[in-house]
């Protein structure tokens, strides 16, 4: 399955393919957090300010799951 989640600051959609939803949520969290830090946007948003394990659980609960690759999204692997 493909799992996707938008960046909380710029709204770009990031996605990953995984057979394990927990692994996908961890990959999405790490990828979006790295994106925020790379573009110096991490301090501008407040969604990812809690402990990583809390953020991963929240992402797990709200990420989008599809059988098709999200169009226009950024692949995190």
Residue 46 — very low, low, confident or very high, per pLDDT cuts 50/70/90?
A: low
pLDDT for residue 41 is more than 80: no
- Cβ atoms of residues 61 and 55 within 8 Å: no
- Give 62: exposed, middle or buried? Use CB within 10 Å, 0-12, 13-18, 19+: exposed
pLDDT at res. 45: 56
Bridge partners for 6 per DSSP:
13
pLDDT for residue 42 is more than 60: no
Residue 19 — very low, low, confident or very high, per pLDDT cuts 50/70/90?
A: very high
18: DSSP letter:
-
């Amino acid at each position: 399955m493909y799992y996707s989640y938008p960046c909380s600051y710029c709204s770009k959609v990031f996605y990953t393919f995984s057979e394990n939803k927990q692994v996908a949520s961890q990959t999405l969290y790490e990828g979006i957090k790295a994106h925020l830090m790379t573009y110096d946007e991490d301090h501008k948003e407040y969604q990812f300010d809690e402990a990583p394990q809390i953020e991963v659980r929240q992402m797990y609960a709200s990420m989008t799951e599809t059988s098709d690759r999200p169009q226009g999204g950024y692949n995190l692997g």
